[in-house]
Chain A
Amino acid sequence: MNHILLKTQNLCKYFVSRRWRFLNLKPEVIAVKAVDQCNLDVKQGEILAIVGESGSGKTTLGQCISRIIDPTAGKIWFGDRDITNIQGKELKELRQEIQMVFQDPGSSLNPRHCIEDIIALPMKIHFNLFGKKLKERVKELMSMVELPIELISRYPHALSGGQKQRVGIARALSLNPKLLVLDEPTSALDVSVQAKILHLLKSLQNKLGLTYIMITHNLSIVKNFSNRVVVMYLGRILEMASTNELFSFPLHPYTQALLSATPVIKEEEKKFIPSEIILEGEIPSPINTPKTCAFLSRCKVKKSSCFDRYDLKLIEVKPGHWTQCPHISN
């Protein structure tokens, strides 16, 4: 049995702001619930995919997990350690365990640093490496991500999108992390480059025994890349299952709609798609969301009883298949 590497307990991230209205004595409190009561666990050596539309809080969850932003409530466990509120030296040590690869390879690299400096900076800070040793390590990392060594003194603008993303991966790998949070690593790339980056990530995982949290909105990538899937909507987790299970038996109506909207190329792929479901409207605003089911406003199969169910929890319907639909849990 794989042991659990990372676990979140009722993780919340609210962005609170106050708005003063004319002649009001008290400010109006606006809470954007970007991540709301998320429970998930990541096993050692697996690839966990987080899917959802834009605005569903995927990136915020990823950033909370890697402690780039501080969660509002809840707990994050890394191994046996509670990392929710660690600061200073402890946090610096945690950075060696969890690293992140960002979405836009163009803007996540400093345009004034050359590739060598970009990859070397984390090692200078954490390992106190300098001089020849550092350069050797940079070269080793570059060959690991299949970047030509000639690029070592180039600047990011001279690189293609795929090469920039490889630099981002090399930088993340430089501290030998255990967990890598990949925030839409291929959404800015062309399909032919995307396939190469995904293969690289997979081979690196096999070689180094990494664990990935992959944030994406592309279900075809999820199907080919990940072991388990978490479906998010409006800051909440609606469904969680292993990839094969989710694609063969999607339970939540939102997952079904998401699957049916995936554009496919070949005729054989159509049998993986449930019947045509078209969602009306768009993802509602995450400001002061109700405590009922998050998907209620766009759900096609809702019943009147759905409106009375508050504080829904993820329920294990089958072994390993969790869902939050009030229907199914009845």
Chain B
Amino acid sequence: MLSSGLIVTVAGLYLGGLFLLAWYTERRVDRGAGRFVGSSLSYTLSLAVYCTSWTFFGAVGSAARNGLEFLTIYIGPTLMLMAWWFLLRKLVRISKAQRITSIADFLSARYGKSAWISALVTVIAVVGVMPYIALQLKAITASFNALSDNPDFPPGPAGEHGAFGDTGLWVAVCMAAFVILFGTRNLGADERHPGVVAAIAFESIVKLFSLGVIALFAIYGLNDGVRDMFYRAAEYPELQRLYMFSPGFEPRWVATIFLAAAAMICLPRQFQVAVVENSDERHLATASWLFPLYLMLFSLFVIPVAITGVTHLPQGANPDLYVLTLPLRFDHPYLALLAFIGGLSAGTSMVIMASIALSIMISNHLVTPLLLRLPRFSQPGSGDFSGTLLAVRRMSIAAILILGYVYYRAITSTNPLASIGLVSFTGVAQFLPALIGGIFWRNGTKAGATAGLLAGFAVWIYTLLLPNFANAGWPVASIVTEGPWGIEMLKPDAMFGLAGWDRLVHGLFWSLTFNILFYITVSLFTEQSAIERLQSAVFVDIFQHNTANVDDALQRSAHTEDLFRLTQSILGAERAYRLFRDYARRQGRRDHLPVPDPALIAYVERQLASSVGAASARTLVSRIVKGERITVEAVITILDEAQEAIRYSRELERKSHELEETAEKLRRANEQLRRLDLLKDDFLSRVSHELRTPMTSIRSFAEILVGEQQIGSMQTRRFLEIIQQESERLTRLLDEILDLSRMENGQVAWSLLHVDARDVARQAIAAMAGLARERGHRLIDNLGNRPLPVFVAPDRLQQVFINLLSNAIKYNDGPEPVTWIEAVETDAAFVEIHVRDNGPGISREDQEILFSKFARGWSEQARWQEGSGLGLAISRQIMVQLDGTLSLFHSSPRGSTFSVRLPRSGG
């Protein structure tokens, strides 16, 4: 046992240190130096405000009484954090964009900035959380009494000295003073309290550490390690539920996992730390694994304390206080003091955060709307409102703690800690349908949300709170035992005959059933107003819309002076001045008065909302602006039209793409046709040109022969020879044209044979040997000795070689003209022969038309040359018919190489 004085001194020092920490942090943040405060670690630790004295004391009690069920309270949030990408991230993003200050503000902003909804949510939250605050008072009081030499041990809330002798009252008073000092030092630009968050984070470390120490003490101080602990536990049959589930555990197990997950976002203080105080979305990523780790460690520490409490303490000791009584009984008073501090930190952190969150809600959503109706505040610029607001906050904090104390005195004496907490969880879980529906379902209406909340709240009071009151001796016991007016079907713990279920599961099931039913049904049968539709679009599609565009589209007008005076009265002169000056600077203006464009009005409204909530801010702003109603409709249209337009333009884009492709195909086909047309014209003109030359000479010689009488017989003979030569040339030309056109039309019937391509090439060399010798041209046979079997028409292939050789001979006017005919090593499927010369080469433009008909015909140089100019075109056609290719392999001023390529025959 320790003296009360010592405990009070230590607790006072601890709280004083906490206050210093908060004060110091805020100062550092003001200077922009708070590194730890903005970190994801402090964010995660501040989430651990979830672990209250219910966890610290109650979880051990719950484990000793009900076995592993206490784990659900920590598994639920684990799963909720793991799903951060879908839920918490969206909540945070929306709250940032809308300057949300609390969960009531969030729901009200979603459902048309309705003042009615935020007031309703505030009332539910206060009523729902009140038992929870009472629970903290109870836990701290009980732990104080257990630790001190207070004669009340085992503890009861009221001693013989009346209320003033009750430790609970003094705990409540201390807490109230503490929170007022802490949470309302100033009216934040947004509802962020970096100092408080730092203190909460610190408390999270303290409570985890102190429970860990007690757990280690239990395992190694009182038992001989883990194995020994479980070995001893086996002797106590009541401990079996700690490693085996009792039959019928399922409904409660599932229900409490769900409840705990919902509480993670629905409890006002959790919403405050997780969403409102979040300064960076990326902190969620860290918290998604670090916070589950924290919870897992906490749960891990609970088990040994619970087991050892049962095995080492006398029967009848209060399991909720095992954490304290274990070290006390085995004479470690300072360990017990550490445990007390842990419990104190768990309790205070919850009370601080919960009462800050609730006081913001009460002052913004219950008191401010009423104050704004007073004549004193209903005129713009009617004095400084921020002082009033702070006073309201302080009074709400005091009121919350007084209510908590009253509840604690009235009710909680008989219930274990854990069951009180779960009743609170179920109360705030009523926000869940409107919250989830609000961010994923566009068509939830204000009326639907109101109906759902009211129905769920009513059923919750009836099924869960009423039996508690009855237990406490209120005159409602007959309703609980017999049903209202004796109607059994409506009994609070067996509605519609659903008897035999656990009261919590039963109450949760019915309250949420009615809640969801009303929310959806009423939403389906009511219409959203313009502002509701705007807000629902902004909330549901937060990741798609750019909210700035919405601002610009809201065409409202106001006088800058009115806006300034309004801002000044709510936020104070200095902040208002800075806000307007900065905005004016951004607009590029010299003076401090910005142009009152719609974006400024929206910006001012959001800034006000960060102090008084969305609904009140809207009321205030709409008093001094004009022309909103029509334009909100317009915004909706813009939003809807924009989406329609995006869809439409995507469709158009797709279609125009298809059109483009078709046009391209057409263009290509047309191009080809035009080229063919050109080729045809070209061909005709060349043919007529080529025919005309011999015809002209035949005709002129014939005319001479007919007209001139004095020509000698020698000359006559010469003329006739020329006429004959020209006729032969004409015939050859016509033959070739016919030949070519037959091949092009595929009308050929050649007899194909298996031959050696070398033999064919050598025959061609032999045929050209005479011409070559005449020109002093050397033909070199490099065909080698390996056979090149092909399946061809031999004389046609020979024609190709002859054409190539004759070209090489004819066009080479160098001093030492040479042509090489060589076999080229290729793969097994083809044979290839190159005809290489050391002639002048073929110019680049000639290369392009080399294989077309009469390619050479135009060249003046070639005018005197023999041949029709069809040779290469025919050769190429021959090769095509033989399934081979003829191509210009290489050409430079030092010579050209033609390649003849044919499929190798198998035979």
Bound pair (A, B)? no
